[in-house]
Amino acid sequence: MSTPSRSGVLGANVDTRVEKFTESVSFDRRLYAHDIVGSQAHARMLAKVGLISGDECREIEQTLSEIRQEIEQGEFHFDPALEDIHMHVEHALVERLGDVGRKLHTARSRNDQVSTDLRMWTREAIDTIDRRLADLMAALVARCERDEGVILPAYTHLRRAQPVLAAHAYLCHVERLARDRGRLADARRRVNVLPLGGGALAGTSLPIDREMVRRELEFDAVAANSLDTSSDRDFVAEVTFAWTMIAEHLSSWAEEWILWSTTEFDFLALPQEFCTCSSMMPQKINPDVLELVRGKTGRLVGNLMSLLTLLKGLPPAYNRDLQEDKEPLFDSFDTIDACLELAAAIVAGAELKQESIAERLEAGFLDATTLMEHLIGLGVPQRTAHHAVGSLVAMAAERGVALAELSLEEMRSVDPALAVLDERVFEFLGTRQAVAAFASFGSTSPERVAEQVTRWKQELGI
């Protein structure tokens, strides 16, 4: 492939160091299919409005399809001197069709062309990640039924706090992932706006039909301001933020399951095909995949910061700085896509160590809050009940017993507020009774959790 001539305004050939510095085809070649599909739609529009003939349009469309096939089969030659994928495709077209190929760029700038291609790629990437999120949510909901009735200690400040159903813990992550899907769906509306026809920055004097191109390329709307659309990369930053939030949520899940899989917690056995061994210590099984899911969050945060810094202070219309938008976007997609795929497999393959959990479930006075709320139901003010139960916990801890192992007389002797207690108190003590006592919407009540599992199964179609 020969190097194309430069614009007539420049009298000198480009320095080879500049070619290397400015090329982007090494990473933006992944836009080739979107560039070709967008160019074919543009050609059909040009034919409709009479700027090219029907025969010329068919030649252009056919030749672009041949170029796409060559790229997909690995037969296409890439030359850094041609800068980006858009110039590669156009140059190949001109080499084969001559002046007919040169007509394709009528009423189009690389500014609106690049933005169009990137938006088409981004909406496909959003749809891919949405499917990954749905798969992970389905895996978590499936675990709810698989581990039905299992109770876990839940933690605040990494201290045992209250008992919850394992399903409630799984649904915590489902709710987070659902918000992630919502963010992506909302961002997709702003992604799916057609820039093509905005030209370099001011539009065109030629009689183009942007609405036709919008329909052909399945955009929801046409960008209303050509000056804005040539530089708009809000959608890149917004989608990268949405992917970064997914990574934040995955990092939280990974940390929780890393803790659960330790000897100290002993709640969870991770699928060994997603673990590694120590190079020195023969007994070690390390949760490397979960640790990398946690660690790669920093990579996405870095990509987001890179984009926000890139966009800071840019004047309206296109600036070459915007070439730097793609690598952070592509890398964030690749990273979160891989993390989600592995997360679903780990969720499906892990096993709760129910005997180990049950052995220590009564440790930590997980039923103390339920006892306090029982007192409130008997008319004791919350702060008074809180103090009284705290004193009761202190006595039980000193004796090395659970609250349910204290007699009614012992309980009443600790604080005057506890005098209202009768034998019914034992219906609220112990972790299983404490879980059964929950009633509020959104709580770990078995009935409420069952309702949420049913809801999510319906929403996810499983």
Quickly tell me which residue has 């870095």 as its tokens: 302
Alpha carbon 395 to its chain centroid, in Å, reads 47
Cα–Cα distance list, 191 to 43, 125, 218, 285 (Å)? 23, 11, 12, 43
Task: Check if 157 is active-site.
Answer: yes
Task: Find the catalytic residue in 26, 53, 65, 278.
Answer: 278
Mark residue 289 as left, alpha or beta (left: phi above 0; alpha: psi -120 to 50; beta: remaining): alpha
Q: Which of 59, 48, 41 is nearest to 99 (CA)?
A: 59
Task: Find the catalytic residue in 7, 157, 205, 440.
Answer: 157
Q: Which helix (H) or strand (E) holds 349?
A: helix 326-349
User: How many whole angstroms separate alpha carbon 123 and alpha carbon 121?
Assistant: 6
The partner residues of 162 in beta bridges, in order of sequence, read: 154
Do the Cβ atoms of 64 and 139 come closer than 8 Å? no
232: Cβ contacts below 8 Å, ≥ 6 apart: 115, 195, 223
Backbone angles phi, psi at 333, to 5 degrees: -60, -50
Give me the DSSP letters along 246-269: HHHHHHHHHHHHHHHTSTTT--EE
Q: Which helix (H) or strand (E) holds 22?
A: helix 16-22
Do the Cβ atoms of 304 and 332 come closer than 8 Å? yes
Residue 327 is classified by DSSP as: H
Structure tokens given for 408: 């009614």
User: How many whole angstroms separate alpha carbon 252 and alpha carbon 461?
Assistant: 26
Greatest pairwise CA separation for the chain in angstroms: 100
Residues annotated as catalytic are 157, 278
